[in-house]
Amino acid sequence: EVFKALNKTRGLYLRWRELGEISGAETDWTTTELRNSLRSIEWDLEDLEDAISIVEKNPNKFKIDNKELQSRRHFIDATRDEVKSMKEKMSLNRNRDRDITARQPLLDNPNETNNNINNIIVSGGGGSGVGGNLASTIAGTMASRHSGTKYSKLENTIDSPGHYATLDSPTHKFIGENVSIQQRMLQGQDEQLDVISDSIGTLKTVSRQIGVELDEQAVMLDDFGNELDNTESKLDTTMKKVAKVLHMNNDKRQWAAIAILTILLLIVIILFIVL
């Protein structure tokens, strides 16, 4: 991603160099895009540097050797130097534009400059004819220089066929293609966000259904636990009764009582037969 952004920034930088001092909407757009791209690359480089620092602390975990780390760090340093060079060039041009703007009032008022020169030369030459001629010559030269060169470059640029041909230049097409690519990428990202939003909505619905089913199963488990407790209490009561019966069967007194009753029953039967 950083390499792609760097290539795009190089194209913008070349176009910015081609535009030079020409002012216009395309120049402003190119300058703004170039600054944003440089700032974005700087942020990406900081993230990459942080990631490399993390990898260097534990290289075995990420399975990256020192050669690969050095290569990536060299790429970061080279990219940072290139970005710094571009920013310095833009700063120099900005300062130069400020100097031109500061000198512009002097260039816009050549008559005042001529009068100052006349006063200086006349006062220095004592009002002689030579001084007057010299003042006129210098003033005329400066007036013709400023008035002739001030708008010559702009007029030549506007009247030249190359000014209108820049709209069809490869660089302009490259910028247009980049803008269209970015628009398609943004559209694709919007579509992906819509799909993700739909997926999140579906996941929320499924999670709610799972929550309802879990609540129902929790109620069923509570009922089953209550039934199990009742069954366990009944089983304990039955086991106690069985143990009591077994204990009674093992009692010797009960066996003695049974034997006595049996003997008495036999005596009664014998007496009944005899009588």
DSSP string computed for 209-233? HHHHHHHHHHHHHHHHHHHHHHHHH
CB neighbour list of residue 183: distance below 8 Å, 6 or more residues apart: none
Predicted confidence (pLDDT) per residue in 179-211, tens digit: 777 777 777 777 777 778 777 878 888 888 888
| Cα 231 to Cα 143, 154, 220, 221, 238, distances in angstroms | 117, 103, 16, 15, 11
> Mean pLDDT, to the nearest integer, of 47-62?
80
What's the pLDDT score for residue 204? 81
* Nearest C-alpha neighbor of 177 from the set 133, 111, 86, 169: 169
Alpha-carbon distance 260 to 100, whole Å?
Answer: 140
pLDDT over threshold 70, residue 242: yes
Mean pLDDT of the 73-93 span: 84
DSSP character for 168?
A: G
Better-scored residue on pLDDT, 44 or 246: 44
The percentage of the chain sitting over the pLDDT mark of 70, rounded to a whole number, equals 64
Residue 51 CA to residue 74 CA, distance in Å, equals 14
Which of residues 10 and 60 earns the better pLDDT score? 10
CA 180 to chain CA centroid, Å, is 21
Tokens 């999670």, located at residue: 207
Which of the listed ranges 19-23, 62-66, 162-166 does the model predict with the highest average pLDDT? Answer: 62-66
The dihedral through the CA atoms of 60, 62, 63, 68 has a sign that is: negative
Token pair in block for residue 97: 């534009």
What's the Cα-to-Cα distance from 255 to each of 201, 249, 260, rounded to whole Å? 80, 8, 9
Q: Is the dihedral of CA 114, 119, 121, 126 positive or negative?
A: positive
Q: pLDDT tens digits, residue range 19-29?
A: 776 667 777 88
Of the given ranges (91-100, 231-240, 251-260), which has the lowest mean pLDDT? 91-100
pTM of the full predicted structure?
A: 0.35
Residue 22 DSSP class: -
What is the reported pLDDT for 198? Answer: 78
Contacts of 8 (CB under 8 A, 6+ apart): 37, 178
Are 84 and 92 in contact by the 8 Å Cβ rule? The answer is no
The mean of the pLDDT values for the chain is 70
Token pair, residue 92, equals 């120099």
Where does the pLDDT of residue 156 fall: very low under 50, low under 70, confident under 90, or very high at 90 and above?
very low
| pLDDT reading at 257 higher than 80 | no
pLDDT band at 144 (very low <50, low <70, confident <90, very high): very low
Query: Among residues of the chain, what percentage have pLDDT more than 90?
Result: 0
Q: For position 188, what pLDDT does the model report?
A: 77
Residue 155: pLDDT above 60?
A: no
157: its two tokens:
């640029």
CA 71 to chain CA centroid, nearest Å: 25
Do 67 and 56 contact (CB within 8 A), yes or no?
Answer: no
